[in-house]
Amino acid sequence: MSRLLFCFPALLWAGFAGAQTGSPLDRESLAKLRREAFENSQAAPVFEMLTSTIGPRLTASPAHRRAAEFARERLASYGLANARLDPLSFGSGWSL
């Protein structure tokens, strides 16, 4: 069920894009998109890590830094060549 919720916006957009151009829907492309969403989706593990494992994070908190590092590492693992964190000047930050 959760995978369906993650791929629904992409499928909805694909349907609207096909309707707006006046061309018929490319069923083969939609089938490839569905197959990719159900077999190789990384949305659920990333969502789980950011929400359940790392949890809530305020600006400049240790959890904020951990989430930013996780996102940078994940983007680099996807092949993004220039994944980096920009410096943030926010004061002392937040933590309990």
Per-residue pLDDT of the chain (96 residues; tens, 9 = 90+): 555 555 556 655 665 555 555 567 788 999 999 998 889 898 999 999 999 999 998 888 889 999 999 999 999 999 999 999 988 777 766 666
DSSP 3-69: HHHHHHHHHHHHHHHHHHHSSPP-HHHHHHHHHHHHHH--HHHHHHIIIIIS----TTSHHHHHHHH
Instruction: List C-alpha distances in Å: 79 to 36, 67, 76, 83.
Output: 18, 19, 5, 9
Q: Looking at the whole model, is its pTM more than 0.85?
A: no
Encode pLDDT of 41-68 as tens digits.
989 999 999 999 999 988 888 899 999 9
